[in-house]
Amino acid sequence: MNICVIGTGYVGLVTGCVFSDLGNEVICVDKDADKVAMLCRGEMPIYEPGLEELVKRNVEDGRLSFSGDLAEAVRHSDVVFICVGTPPLENGDPDMSYVQDAAKSIASALNRYKVIVNKSTVPVGTGNMVREIIEINRRQNVDFDVVSNPEFLREGSAIKDTLEPDRIVIGAPNQVVAMKILELYAPLERPMLITDVASAEMIKYASNAFLATKISFINSVANICEAVGADILQVIKGMGYDHRIGAAFLNAGLGYGGSCFPKDSSALARTAQKHGYDFKLLNAVMDVNRDQPIRFLDRMRSAVGGSFQGKTVGVLGLAFKPNTDDMRDAKSVEIIGALLAEGANIKTYDPIAMDNTRRIFPQICYTHNAYEAAEDADVLVIITEWNEFKLLNMERVKTLMNTPMIFDGRNIYDPIKLRRLGFEYHCIGRATAAQK
């Protein structure tokens, strides 16, 4: 099948690669000429494990190409995937301008029947909006259908998640159209759910909002654990064994970030508000998430004597999660910003995300490894749980630091072991030595 993918971000690039790897002819289109040129040279605009190899193989085999000519790509295709960004506006609504622009461009190039598949994360009703835009702007009176096919990939494991999804959701106006998209996914042999378009759009938002709720819930429980002397890791284990709850996303820490959970939770709350429903639970989830880094900074400030002025802080981890270089809504941005505002000196290290962070904080010190970040630090802060940080020689870390104090925002270390080594160790939801 001939496929056009509009947008070469995480979703678009991975979607295009996987469909080409399944034997389809795919053209990935982007209006950013520099990004298209980069991809044509075999250079990846994003970091995602396994992506570069997948692109290389399918380009060499002639199934995958990149272009800035959206009209030609649409005319050549049977199915057009819209995979553009929907970043949040100040009021919490998603910015739909990129989706609208894509729909207008599709309309002007429409030359025969096509299925338009919206894979961007969008509010309920977007399918109708896209259909109306195309109907108004098409130059030829040819038929088309609009389908919702939300993605559920996670950055850092996007290829695996696309090849082995828990479920494939196809929101279509009729069974005939649904079967055309189902045919594309058939080689994956995964569970498929066919719904109406509105339900498919809601499934995406509801799924992400529920996972965000699990994270904020367990962070709230962790805050209580700190007060009463309980261990959140034991609590999580005890809860996770219950098959009705499950352990996934019950990880206490600094809260959720990235391109999906903050944006999608806010967008669902706004959708509810527009339709006259006060989504109090989801609003509370977002409040807890906003408060979590503030609580962490308050504890740090108290531990260093009430002020960060003149303190050297080593920061390990910058990306919002491991195995990605994505800095969108990364907790490091908020924490580093607060530390700088109070006069701290920052030394930092991340295996992948330092180039992206330099665009945000050009003034801080970027080191070659975790040990350099710890050298002469008054406090070492763990923000992203990269595996290499779990395997550090902590005795060496202690000798390098000015003061052996660690604030672990992801609970990657054993408090007993670190305290035996002589560290003052603070984490999330686990009792201090004094409480023990």
What 3-state class would DSSP assign to 68? coil
Instruction: Quickly tell me which residue has 């491991």 as its tokens.
Output: 322
Q: What global pTM score does this model have? A: 0.92
Of the residues 4, 28, 225, 260, only one is catalytic, namely 260
Which uninterrupted H or E stretch holds 408?
Answer: strand 405-408
- Sheet order of strands, 2-6 included: 64-67, 25-29, 2-6, 79-82, 114-118, 144-148, 168-171, 192-195
* Closest among 390, 326, 267, 301 to 11, alpha carbons compared: 326
pLDDT tens-place values along the chain, 436 residues long: 999 999 999 999 999 999 999 999 999 999 999 999 999 999 999 899 999 999 999 999 999 999 999 999 999 999 999 999 999 999 989 999 999 999 999 999 999 999 999 999 999 999 999 999 999 999 999 999 999 999 999 888 999 999 999 999 999 999 999 999 999 999 999 999 999 999 999 999 999 999 999 999 999 999 999 999 999 999 999 999 999 999 999 999 999 999 899 999 999 999 999 999 999 999 999 999 999 999 999 999 999 999 999 999 999 999 999 999 999 999 999 999 999 999 999 999 999 999 999 999 999 999 999 999 999 999 999 999 999 999 999 999 999 999 999 999 999 999 999 999 999 999 999 875 444 4
Angle at the Cα of 367 from the Cα atoms of 361 and 369, rounded to 5 degrees: 135
- Cβ atoms of residues 102 and 137 within 8 Å: no
User: What residue type is assigned to position 198 of the chain?
Assistant: A
The CATH 3.40.50.720 portion of the chain extends over: 2-195, 211-426
| Cα separations in angstroms, 190 against 135, 159, 183, 286 | 34, 15, 12, 33
The fold of the 2-195 domain, in CATH, is Rossmann fold (3.40.50)
Q: Quick check: is 260 catalytic?
A: yes
Helix, strand, coil percentages (3-state) for the chain, rounded to 5, are 45, 15, 40
- Distance CA(73)–CA(106), nearest Å, equals 10
Which residues make Cβ contacts (< 8 Å) with residue 245, sequence separation at least 6?
239
Give the architecture-level CATH label for domain 211-426.
Answer: 3-Layer(aba) Sandwich (3.40)
Which residues are paired to 426 by β-bridges? 407
- Distance CA(119)–CA(150), nearest Å, equals 5
